[in-house]
Structure 1
Amino acid sequence: MQTKIIVQNLKCGGCASTISKNLISIDGISEVNINAEESSVEFAYAEESSLKTVEEKLRNLGYPVLGNANTYLNKAKSFISCATGKMNQ
């Protein structure tokens, strides 16, 4: 199955790099595509439970799904995730 979700705080290639690296490491997740301009995360998944795992991982990285609370802590985490992604490119 394939899905596309919109996340908050996704601003650049550094963010995209961090998200992609972390999502592809989840069992059952493949074909990860990030579009920073649209703030979208697209991926294929094997099981329905993988969606919750992805959403939790994104929130922990500072990129909550659009419509969920975007706290100062999420924003701070996204800056760190972004910087890490830029250093690993």
Structure 2
Amino acid sequence: MTQNFQVEVENIKCGGCENSIVKGINSVAKVTNLVIDQEKQMVSFSGEESIKQLVIDKLKSMGYPEKGSVSGLEAGITNAKSFVSCAIGRIS
């Protein structure tokens, strides 16, 4: 059964970030209605319940962790990853 999900994330800075997120999510899960809201730092999508955690894990691996889920050194690492993802998204 298809459900709608919203994940509040950190580190979305620009259109490059948005492009990287779309490509990254589409590489691991079959989602529909994928929307990235840079201002609200929100990723919304529809899909099966089983893919929600896949999407959250992929976002974190790209440097866009769920809000409040990382701190300290791990937060610094995810922030650095987001800059790399952003740059890749701007190029492609």
TM, length-normalised to structure 2: 0.87
In 2, the alpha carbon distance for the partners of 1:40 and 1:51 equals 14
Q: Counterpart in 2 of 1:54? A: 55
Write the letter of the residue equivalent to 2:16: G
Matches within 5 A, 1:1-89: 1-46=3-48, 48-70=49-71, 71-88=75-92
Give the structure with the higher percent helix.
2
Query: Residue 33 of structure 1: CA displacement?
Result: 0.8
CA-to-aligned-CA distance 1:32-82 (integer Å, 9 cap, x gap): 111111111010112x22111011000000000012004111010000000
Identify unmatched segments of 5+ residues in structure 1: none
SS in 1 for 2:33: strand
**Identical aligned pairs, as a percentage?**
36
Structural RMSD (CA): 1.1
In 2, the alpha carbon distance for the partners of 1:8 and 1:24 equals 19
Query: Residue 27 of structure 1: CA displacement?
Result: 3.2
Residue-pair matches, total:
87
Query: Residue 21 of structure 1: CA displacement?
Result: 1.1
SS in 1 for 2:67: coil
Identify unmatched segments of 5+ residues in structure 2: none
